[in-house]
Copies of this chain bind each other. A is one copy, B any other.
Amino acid sequence: MAKIVSLSEAVAELVHDGDTAALEGFTHLIPFAAGHEIIRQGRRELTLVRMTPDLIYDQLIGAGCASKLVFSWGGNPGVGSLHRLRDALGNGWPAPLEIEEHSHAGMANRYVAGASGLPFAVLRGYAGTDLPLHTPTISTVTCPFTGEELAAVAALNPDVTIVHAQRADRAGNVQLWGITGVQKEAVLAAKRSLVTVEEIVDELTPVPGAVVLPSWAVTAVAEVPGGAAPSYAHGYYDRDNAAYRAWDTISRDRQAFTGWLRELGVQR
């Protein structure tokens, strides 16, 4: 059964230096508040896993929390590049960053395999691309019935997955809706999981298109209203597109970024 705890307790207990951590949410419901708490608590040497690194990983990388990034598309959606990511990759600032690069289909299937208790997943992918030359978690398998060769990707089983959802009930059952991305798979693939929610309610009224994560499949739930901003929480608040644009300016410059970190409450 999921424990209901504060965000700082949850991060202190569930996210350790050196962990493989996945913060998921496909544009929608990105767990920004949890990411910021990881920065504040000064975690180091994380392997950060996420299909679309987005601002949240640009911030974690810039803050020096990560030593490796596993991803499939690293940009500021609708705006441009992730400058902290580029600075880490190109100049090792503030720390060198290793990468493991996949396609979306590959990453999604890695989570599916992880959630399914399988060591790998099969897909039609990567054939003819240069990705397998650089990514050891891409291989091939042969169909035992047809002899056809297909792509195989290694399962992802993060030490900890963090997602944001609209609601949980007092028993810790979680409900999210709108674009639900790979959140279910990312939570089920992980050894430990934290779900931050907009609100904790007495009862989870059914919602069309909702994904429900039973309490017994989640480690901890923390109530964090606004915890997905500047991304959005369908039915609660909209995406703050201006903040995404403003990040382009902040993140281009190390000094501006350090100022942003200071505002977050981080001294460096």
Mark A residues whose CB is within 8 Å of B: 117-124, 137, 139-146, 148, 150, 152, 154, 206-210
A139 to B209, CA, bound (A): 36
Instruction: Provide a sorted-by-A list of 12 A–B residue pairs whose CB atoms are within 8 angstroms.
Output: A117-B124, A118-B124, A119-B143, A120-B143, A139-B144, A141-B141, A141-B142, A143-B152, A206-B208, A206-B209, A207-B208, A208-B209
- Closest CB of chain B to A109's CB: distance in Å? 10
With a CB–CB cut-off of 8 A, which chain B residues contact A143?
A: 119-120, 152
Contact at A144–B145, with CB atoms within 8 Å? no
Copies in the complex: 2
With a CB–CB cut-off of 8 A, which chain B residues contact A150?
A: 118-119
A145 to B209, CA, bound (A): 35
A140 to B142, CA, bound (A): 11
Contact at A140–B145, with CB atoms within 8 Å? no
A101 to B169, CA, bound (A): 42
A207 to B208, CA, bound (A): 5
Contact at B154–A145, with CB atoms within 8 Å? yes
With a CB–CB cut-off of 8 A, which chain B residues contact A154?
A: 145
Known: A124-B118, A210-B208. A137 touches B141 (CB 8 A): no
